[in-house]
């Protein structure tokens, strides 16, 4: 059975080869004159026709595109952002000189004569009794006592401040 099948195939292929070779050999037709699929049959008119694009310049190898399948886009390409460099304007940093906080004391009163004058100052709930030259909690020093004001020095910054005490006794 295998030999019969092989003989049938051999006969089929041989007959196909003979038919493909036969028109050019036995019937005198040229292979170039035979109609090819996609090519129109000759009309028989003897007028030579110019090939399409005969008046156009021929594409030279340097003009031919090397990319057979170029990429195509349906949308316009986005414009790239432009960067412009601007000089940095350095603004001088103004550092404010540190200042002493507002005086936390209120004048309550004074006691004594000019040589031994005691001043009563209140800060919140605390009451301080100080004389000229005394230091209050390592922060303020009483420098001068006059009839109308007290002169205190804020010790961390060595800045003097005044506290109004009213009229003279």
Helices (H), the chain: 2-26
The answer to whether the Cα torsion of 39, 40, 41, 42 is positive or negative is negative
d(C-alpha 76, C-alpha 59), whole Å: 29
Please give the pLDDT value at position 13: 92
By the 10 Å C-beta count (0-12 exposed, 13-18 middle, 19+ buried), 152 is classed as buried
Please give the pLDDT value at position 156: 93
- Work out the pLDDT band at 25, boundaries 50, 70, 90: low
Percent of the chain with pLDDT over 90: 33
For residue 100, is pLDDT > 70? Answer: yes
d(C-alpha 101, C-alpha 70), whole Å: 77
For residue 45, is pLDDT > 60? Answer: no
Between 56 and 11, whose confidence is greater?
A: 11
The structure tokens 């540190």 sit at 98
Q: Of 28-37, 66-75, 93-102, 147-156, where does mean pLDDT reach its minimum?
A: 28-37
Q: Stretch 156-166: mean pLDDT, rounded?
A: 90
Q: What are the structure tokens assigned to 82, written together?
A: 């432009």
d(C-alpha 39, C-alpha 42), whole Å: 9
- Work out the pLDDT band at 38, boundaries 50, 70, 90: low
Q: What is the pTM of this model?
A: 0.44
* ∠ Cα 77 83 84 (to 5°): 145
Please give the pLDDT value at position 8: 93
d(C-alpha 24, C-alpha 32), whole Å: 10
The average confidence (pLDDT) of the chain is: 80
Q: Stretch 1-17: mean pLDDT, rounded?
A: 89
Of 18-27, 82-91, 143-152, the range with the highest mean pLDDT is 143-152
* ∠ Cα 24 27 28 (to 5°): 65
For residue 66, is pLDDT > 90? Answer: no
Q: Stretch 92-118: mean pLDDT, rounded?
A: 87
């Amino acid at each position: 059975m295998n030999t019969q099948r092989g003989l049938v195939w051999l006969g089929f292929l041989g007959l196909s080869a003979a038919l493909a070779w036969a028109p050019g050999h036995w019937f005198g037709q040229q292979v170039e004159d035979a109609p090819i699929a996609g090519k129109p049959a000759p009309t028989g008119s003897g007028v030579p026709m110019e090939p399409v694009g005969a008046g156009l310049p021929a594409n030279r190898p340097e003009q031919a595109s090397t990319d057979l399948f170029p990429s195509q886009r349906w949308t316009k390409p986005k414009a790239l952002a432009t960067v412009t460099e601007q000089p940095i304007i350095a603004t001088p940093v103004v550092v404010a000189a540190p200042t002493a906080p507002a005086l936390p004391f209120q004048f309550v009163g004074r006691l004594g004569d000019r040589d031994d004058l005691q001043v009563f100052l209140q800060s919140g709930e605390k009451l301080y009794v100080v004389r000229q030259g005394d230091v209050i909690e390592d922060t303020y020093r009483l420098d001068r006592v006059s009839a109308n004001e007290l002169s205190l020095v804020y010790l961390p910054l060595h800045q003097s401040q005044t506290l109004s005490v009213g009229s003279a006794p």
